[in-house]
């Protein structure tokens, strides 16, 4: 069911431009897709493709909320609910957790408390938008967990494991994604903790190159000329900084807060700027060539989802944008560049 307004910090993407995020293709395996369920006891159940299609079907309209700030409302999925799948196997489980495991090169997975997964109406889906699920979106089979950030929905689902104790998923274990992932509470990321002193030393040295400083709070500092090549700065907060002439080539600044920042002649060559906020920033001479700007904001949006042009970033002919990449902006943001 569609809920309005959007969860905090999310913006609408166009339904016909469903972005793909993360891994792009499944790993090798037998051609015929099967789904395996492993109980806590180790007991296994397996469904062939035909057996899956014969299970009770559910059509669900799911609001997709990606942690990099784009949402698509009411995406229609068809599949079998996790509850019906368990029922069909005669499994009544008191397991605490469920892990969804992908057939992918890195054995991608994600987990949830089993009670939450059931209550949220988790779907094992093979169809979206009335078509077989496309491979980039996890076809032939993916899990879909309504009411959680989309990283809780695994593409190329091949195994479901019931667990007594939780086993963190790939993004949760390696990249600090929040394990609870509730978009209404903005449970996006956990940052590694930097102590005050460490932060102060780093800010004074103005060299972040190659460092993992996710979530760093650098608000209001003079960081002109900062070197931050290939730095991991997701979810960092630079609001009100002077970052003129800084070098963020290859850096990950997804969801970074860059509102009210002086970014004159700053380089974002090939940087990941998904979900970053540039409201009211000065972008004269900045270079966005090769940067990924999906879900980035160049002006805040109001309650109606319209951009507040008065609070837009400022740029001119010396700002370098890839026109092709501007197509990736969410519809409301794109209007700024027309
Ligand atoms: N196997 C697998 N599943 C995955 C991922 C991944 O990298 N590998 N990324 C997750 C993330 S972060 C998101 S936002 C969604 C993206 O799904 P989409 O590409 O269909 O939009 O898949 C999730 N499931
Ligand atoms: Mo994501």
Checking if the pLDDT of 272 tops 50, the result is yes
Atom of ligand 1 nearest to the CA of 26: 1
Q: What is the largest CA-CA distance in the chain?
A: 65
Checking if the pLDDT of 213 tops 60, the result is yes
Ligand 2 center to 285 CA (angstroms)? 31
Q: Is 143 in the pocket of ligand 1 (CB under 6 A)?
A: no
Q: Same fold for the domain at 11-185 and the one at 193-338? A: no
Distances (CA, A) of 303 to 4, 6, 110, 184, 336: 10, 9, 33, 16, 17
Query: Which tokens hold the place of 146?
Result: 């309504």
d(CA 236, CA 234): 5
pTM, two decimals, is: 0.85
φ/ψ of 104, rounded to 5, equals: -150, 165
Checking if the pLDDT of 193 tops 80, the result is no
Ligand 2 center to 69 CA (angstroms)? 9
Checking if the pLDDT of 196 tops 90, the result is no
d(CA 285, CA 45): 59
Ligand 2 center to 150 CA (angstroms)? 6
Query: Which tokens hold the place of 135?
Result: 């491979």
Q: What are the pLDDT digits (tens) for 81-90?
A: 999 999 999 9
Q: What are the pLDDT digits (tens) for 49-83?
A: 999 999 999 999 999 999 999 999 999 999 999 99
> Between 2 and 157, whose confidence is greater?
157
Q: Does domain 193-338 have CATH number 3.60.20.10?
A: no
- Give a three-class secondary structure readout of the chain: CCCCCCCCCCEECCHHHCCCCCCCCCCCCCCCCCEEEECCCCCEEEECHHHHHCCCCEEEEEEEECCCCEEEEEEEEEEEEHHHHHHHCCCCCCCCEEEEEECCCCCCEEEEEHHHHHHCCCEEEEEECCEECCHHHCCCCEEECCCCCHHHCCCCEEEEEEECCCCCCHHHHHHCECCCCCHHHCCCECCCCCCHHHHHHHHHHCECCCCECCCCECCCCECCCCECCCCECCCCECCCCECCCCECCCCECCCCECCCCECCCCECCCCECCCCECCCCECCCCECCCCECCCCECCCECCCCCECHHHCCECCCCCECCHHHHCCCCHHHHHHHC
Our mutation pick for probing the ligand 1 site, out of 151, 294, 295, counting the most ligand atoms within 8 A of Cβ, is 151
* Adjacent-strand bridge partners of 237: 217, 257
Domain boundaries of the chain, sorted by first residue: 11-185, 193-338
Q: What are the pLDDT digits (tens) for 283-333?
A: 999 999 999 999 999 999 998 889 999 999 999 999 999 998 999 999 999
Nearest ligand to residue 62 Cα = 1
Looking at residue 15, its pLDDT comes to 80
Ligand 2 center to 316 CA (angstroms)? 32
Residue nearest to atom 13 of ligand 1 (CA): 151
Q: Is 139 in the pocket of ligand 1 (CB under 6 A)?
A: no
Nearest ligand to residue 172 Cα = 1
Checking if the pLDDT of 1 tops 50, the result is no
Q: Is 141 in the pocket of ligand 1 (CB under 6 A)?
A: no
Atom of ligand 1 nearest to the CA of 171: 12
Our mutation pick for probing the ligand 1 site, out of 146, 153, 175, counting the most ligand atoms within 8 A of Cβ, is 153
Residue nearest to atom 18 of ligand 1 (CA): 20
Positive or negative CA dihedral for 119, 81, 9, 265?
A: positive
Atom of ligand 1 nearest to the CA of 18: 21
Tokens 């699920």, located at residue: 133
Looking at residue 3, its pLDDT comes to 55
**How many other C-beta atoms can be found within 10 angstroms of the C-beta atom of residue 311?**
15
Ligand 1 center to 145 CA (angstroms)? 12
Ligand 2 center to 60 CA (angstroms)? 20
Ligand 1 center to 154 CA (angstroms)? 6
Looking at residue 2, its pLDDT comes to 55
Is residue 241 a contact partner of residue 219, using CB atoms and an 8 Å limit? Answer: yes
* CATH dotted code for 11-185: 3.90.420.10
Q: Is 102 in the pocket of ligand 1 (CB under 6 A)?
A: yes
Checking if the pLDDT of 16 tops 90, the result is no
Looking at residue 4, its pLDDT comes to 65
Quick one: CA torsion of 88, 134, 152, 87, rounded to 10 degrees?
A: 0
């Amino acid at each position: 069911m569609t809920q309005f307004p959007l969860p905090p910090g999310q913006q609408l993407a166009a339904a016909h431009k469903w972005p793909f995020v993360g891994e792009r293709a499944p790993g090798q395996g037998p051609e015929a897709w099967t789904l395996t369920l492993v109980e806590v006891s180790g007991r296994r159940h397996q469904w062939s493709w035909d057996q899956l299609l014969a299970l009770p079907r559910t059509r669900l309209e799911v609001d997709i909320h990606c942690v990099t700030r784009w949402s698509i409302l009411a995406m229609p999925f068809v599949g079998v609910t996790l509850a019906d799948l368990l029922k069909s196997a005669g499994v009544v489980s008191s397991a605490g957790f469920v892990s969804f495991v992908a057939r992918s090169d890195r054995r991608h997975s994600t987990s949830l408390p089993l009670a939450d997964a059931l209550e949220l109406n988790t779907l094992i889906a093979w169809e979206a938008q009335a078509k077989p699920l496309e491979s980039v979106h996890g076809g032939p089979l993916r899990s879909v967990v309504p009411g959680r950030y989309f990283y809780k929905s695994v593409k190329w689902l091949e195994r479901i494991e019931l667990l007594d104790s939780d086993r963190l998923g790939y993004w949760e274990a390696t990249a600090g994604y929040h394990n609870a992932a509730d978009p209404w509470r903005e449970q996006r990321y956990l940052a590694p903790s930097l102590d005050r002193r460490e932060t102060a030393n780093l800010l004074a040295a103005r060299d972040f190159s190659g460092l993992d400083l996710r979530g760093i709070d650098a608000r209001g500092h003079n960081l002109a000329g900062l070197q931050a090549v290939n730095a991991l700065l997701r979810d960092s907060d630079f609001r009100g900084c002077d970052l003129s002439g800084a070098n963020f080539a290859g850096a990950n600044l997804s969801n970074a807060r860059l509102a009210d920042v002086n970014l004159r002649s700053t380089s974002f060559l090939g940087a990941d700027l998904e979900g970053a906020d540039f409201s009211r920033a000065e972008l004269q001479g900045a270079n966005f060539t090769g940067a990924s700007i999906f879900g980035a904001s160049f002006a805040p949006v109001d309650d109606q989802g319209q951009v507040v042009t008065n609070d837009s970033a400022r740029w001119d002919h010396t700002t370098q944008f890839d026109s092709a990449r501007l197509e990736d902006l969410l519809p409301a943001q794109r209007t700024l560049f027309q």
